[in-house]
Structure 1
Amino acid sequence: MRSLRRRDALMLLSCAAAGGARATPARITVASYPDLDRAVKLALPAFARRHPGVAVNVVTLSHKDHHTAMTTALAAGAALPDLIALDMDFMGKFVDSAGLEDLSRAPYLAGAQSARFPGYAWRAGVNRRGEIKALPVDTGPGALFYRHDLLARAGLRETDLTRSWTGFIEAGQTLRARTGAYLVAHAQDLKDIRIRAGLADGEGVFFDPQGRSQVQTPRFRRAFELALQARDAGIDARVRAWSNEWSEGFRRGAIATQMMGCWLGGHLKRWIAPGTAGLWRSAPLPEGAAAAWGGSFYAIPVHSQQKALAWDLLQLLALDRDQQVAAFRSLDAFPVLLSAQDDGFLSEPVDFLGGEAARLQWRDMARRIPAVTIDRYDAVADEVVRNELDQVLLHRKGIDQALADARVTVERRVRRRA
């Protein structure tokens, strides 16, 4: 079934590209995924005013199928759109692709725009050779979403969650005892934050700037210890993000917090738990940790037949302040342009979050996130580390042994793919 979906996706893009070649007037094809495709469609009226009569065909696939289809299409050099959407989680795979235009070169010269973006978002689209392979269009500064009503029932305050990780776990035990709710969905979530804490500009999460694995370091050891403490304290529901159990846990008040990108607030409001409006709040991450969850980018394939039009649409999405503010107002897509982050909309109360001005908090987080280096093998290392932590949580494998095995496995897989 998966192979059929990939083949169908490539056929759809091929037909769209072929149609664009025959069409008069010009047509460009944009490949995207939900809900990012809605931001493109929101920009189409402005694009039409710049280019009357130019048709824009937006091809939308599920998040995973889209990135799989783009990987296949770029490898084949065929069935490619004119503009490709990319998620931050996949940038390590695409940032070195020879199939994407280097936007630092003429006629693009995008490097002149770097100061308009937070360093971490800009760096994610730039590879080690200094080639700009994609521009960011939105971002996801991290936040701790929590159920205010459940904390109140347990006699807890926001600071009990944010002051320290020790306090966070202790608050989870109190919450569980007094309300029956779990504090977090899964202990892995704590590891995901802790391995990103304390990084400096230029450092990488899984690899150092020279490409050496960092998984057998004190940073990862502390992250594993924290996750194990959460499991032993009985504060995690043992459900994975985006599962049916995860969503249902939020709807029923069985899970009290989730640390994720600020865009989660929009998902909670629109489709995950709309019946919980007013019960949620947003807080900084524990111990002042600064991290980003996701972010969206667009890139232009080398084999695009409409590069000039694709570049003009990309500039509208990535460099137009008003367009990013409009997407934020309509779609909860947090703007990546620093100028857009100063819009008055950020000061307005968020009804779903009990009327607090949470967007200002997210902006503060966005401006503290370090500009970490993304490595093409980050996804490989992430999978290995996740699997080893499962061995610790489920089968009591020693942490030191788990991290040693993780390092060996990561290095072996990197050599195999190099």
Structure 2
Amino acid sequence: MPTARAAATTGIRAGTPTALARGVALRLGAVALAGALLTACGSGAQPEDAAAGAGAKVTVTVDLFGSFGYKEAGLYAEYEKLHPGVTVKQTDTEDEQDYWKSLQTRLAGGGGLADVQGIEVGRIAAVTQQQADRFEDLNAYGAGALRSSFADAKWSAATTKDGKVLGLGTDVGPEAMCYRRDLFEKAGLPTGREELAAQWSTWEGYLELGRRYRDHAPDKSAWLDSVGSLYAVMTGQEKERYYDAAGALVYETNPAVRTAWNTSVRAAQDGLSAKLDQWSAPWNQAFAAGSFATLPCPAWMLGYIKGQAGDAGAGKWDVAALPGGAGNWGGSYLAVPRAAKHKKEAYALIQWLTAPEQQARLFEKQGSFPSSTGAIAKVADVKDSYFSDAPTGRIFGDAAKAAPVQVLGAADKTIADQITNALSEVERKGTASDKAWENARKGVRNATG
């Protein structure tokens, strides 16, 4: 979730870790939740409904970034009813970069940490490779019994070489394209999700439709929110981005990265972007204002759109398959710091939140696509009335099945952030592509050492 989860990130949910870039890259089943998610056997052990102890009153603190949706979906309130004496208190930071920076400071000092901390998927390799001593091994609380509840790729990404489990998976980020039907109509473009999926089956087709929209768009409305979101969703379609399978940094020479960069630059130069920094206040306001017609859209973005566009946006949005094939953007974990005050109670909460029943409910209400194998079948037939009755369960389920198993390294998120920052220079300042790329390279070197 946020990339924001972001929010998105970020989402998608972005950050500035102090982690070294080098390190053994982990094979993340971004959504090799593909066959794995859909064919893994069994749903594993069910969470225990054990409270903090007879008559005990405990406040379990949860610190997140973006929009995980637990509060909005009523899950905290339900958990508190099931566990008399337990209160859940959540804090959150909209921008994942700010969240990660703050978390690093608190981990270093050992104070100010919540009982539960969210970890964005782009950070999980840094946690397992460089910060394992700062988080609880959840095996000590019985997490090993849950292994069959998750796809191997999702589980292994949060597991250290010596077998410590440092987080339980929340959602994953299979990708689609969200779009405004009403704005398409005003610009004379087709609005049917199947017809659009055919016309923008490639990214070139997507840009061509964007140029048509630009020429006939309503006032103050662009084709997409930012070229940074375009870059993120394109690289989410790749198995290898910044590291190769051996753990070597390859982003400077990887043709997939350069293709995503060049396509994003072209979108900026063609005037297709609203030039909005994701997770910023102007970006949030733009959802209601109709400032952009399309938004590259991992599943967790659905809940973010609902929150920002509000009731007035219901029925105006729709969802279609992504140009260029399936991909993954985002997905997170819930972890328990070593310095947490209520470790046992924290584990009981995250075990319950990541169980199949809760993950299925979260997708139905907020759009966060499950990482739990037991929840996948539960959401296959889900449609979302807010998004014009789009068959979101099928669209994102198909994307999850086809998405590649991505290779992740300790500085994945840092590299992505630096490249996105450089793309912002292109679209907002008119910086030449070669100069902006060199700025990205310098930013990566400065941030990773």
TM-score (norm 1): 0.79
Q: Which has the greater radius of gyration?
A: 1
1:276-295, Cα deviation, whole Å (9 max, x unpaired) = 32121111211113122x32
Q: Does 1:280 align with 2:317?
A: yes
Q: Does 1:74 align with 2:110?
A: no
Give the corresponding residue for 1:238: 275
Alignment of 1:53-202 (within 5 A): 53=85, 55-64=86-95, 67-95=100-128, 96-97=130-131, 98-103=133-138, 105-110=139-144, 113-127=146-160, 130-153=163-186, 154-156=188-190, 157-159=195-197, 162-180=200-218, 181-199=221-239
Q: Which is further off, 251-260 or 267-276?
A: 267-276
1:223-269, Cα deviation, whole Å (9 max, x unpaired) = 12101221222222222223344344443434110002223222323
Q: Distance in 1 between matches of 2:437 and 2:163?
A: 32
1:109-152, Cα deviation, whole Å (9 max, x unpaired) = 53x53443245543442346653211112233222001223334
- The residue type paired with residue 222 of structure 2 is Y
Q: Contact 1:161–1:167 (CA<8 Å) still a contact in 2?
A: yes
Q: Contact 2:175–2:233 (CA<8 Å) still a contact in 1?
A: no
Q: Does 1:298 align with 2:338?
A: no
Q: Contact 1:124–1:373 (CA<8 Å) still a contact in 2?
A: no
Give the corresponding residue for 1:324: 359
Q: Does 1:31 align with 2:62?
A: yes
Q: Does 1:42 align with 2:80?
A: no
Q: Distance in 2 between matches of 1:189 and 1:122?
A: 27
Match of 1:339 among 369, 374, 392: 374
Identity of aligned residues (%): 24
Give the corresponding residue for 2:411: 377
1:69-125, Cα deviation, whole Å (9 max, x unpaired) = 43333222234333223333543443431210223x444353x53443245543442
Q: Contact 1:119–1:371 (CA<8 Å) still a contact in 2?
A: no
Give the deviation of 1:409 after TM superposition. 4.7
Give the corresponding residue for 1:6: none
| Gap regions ≥5 residues in structure 2 | 1-51
Give the corresponding residue for 1:308: 344
Give the corresponding residue for 1:360: 394
- The residue type paired with residue 56 of structure 1 is T
Q: Distance in 2 between matches of 1:126 and 1:40?
A: 29
The structure where helix makes up a greater share of residues is 1
Distance 1:330 1:169, change over 3 A: closer
Q: Distance in 2 between matches of 1:90 and 1:40?
A: 26
Q: Distance in 1 between matches of 2:421 and 2:302?
A: 28
| Gap regions ≥5 residues in structure 1 | 1-20
Give the deviation of 1:213 after TM superposition. 2.1
Q: Which secondary structure state, in structure 2, belongs to the residue aligned with residue 288 of structure 1?
A: coil
Q: Which secondary structure state, in structure 2, belongs to the residue aligned with residue 101 of structure 1?
A: coil
Give the deviation of 1:324 after TM superposition. 2.3
Distance 1:316 1:216, change over 3 A: same
RMSD of aligned residue pairs (Cα, Å): 3.1
Q: How many residues align?
A: 382
Q: Contact 1:108–1:311 (CA<8 Å) still a contact in 2?
A: no
Q: Does 1:263 align with 2:300?
A: yes
Q: Does 1:221 align with 2:258?
A: yes
Q: Distance in 1 between matches of 2:359 and 2:351?
A: 11
Match of 1:207 among 243, 247, 255: 243
Q: Distance in 2 between matches of 1:67 and 1:409?
A: 17
Distance 1:397 1:128, change over 3 A: farther
- The residue type paired with residue 150 of structure 1 is L
Q: Distance in 1 between matches of 2:80 and 2:170?
A: 16
- The residue type paired with residue 387 of structure 1 is N
1:380-414, Cα deviation, whole Å (9 max, x unpaired) = 21232223334555445353x65466445534542
Distance 1:359 1:29, change over 3 A: same
Give the deviation of 1:216 after TM superposition. 1.2
- The residue type paired with residue 169 of structure 2 is P
Q: Distance in 1 between matches of 2:316 and 2:308?
A: 15
Q: Which is further off, 274-283 or 124-133?
A: 124-133
Q: Which secondary structure state, in structure 1, belongs to the residue aligned with residue 315 of structure 2?
A: coil
Q: Distance in 1 between matches of 2:431 and 2:338?
A: 49
TM-score (norm 2): 0.74
Q: Contact 1:120–1:372 (CA<8 Å) still a contact in 2?
A: no
Q: Distance in 1 between matches of 2:154 and 2:72?
A: 18
Q: Contact 2:73–2:365 (CA<8 Å) still a contact in 1?
A: no
- The residue type paired with residue 58 of structure 1 is K
Give the corresponding residue for 1:5: none
User: Which has the bigger relative contact order, CA under 8 A and spacing at least 6?
Assistant: 2
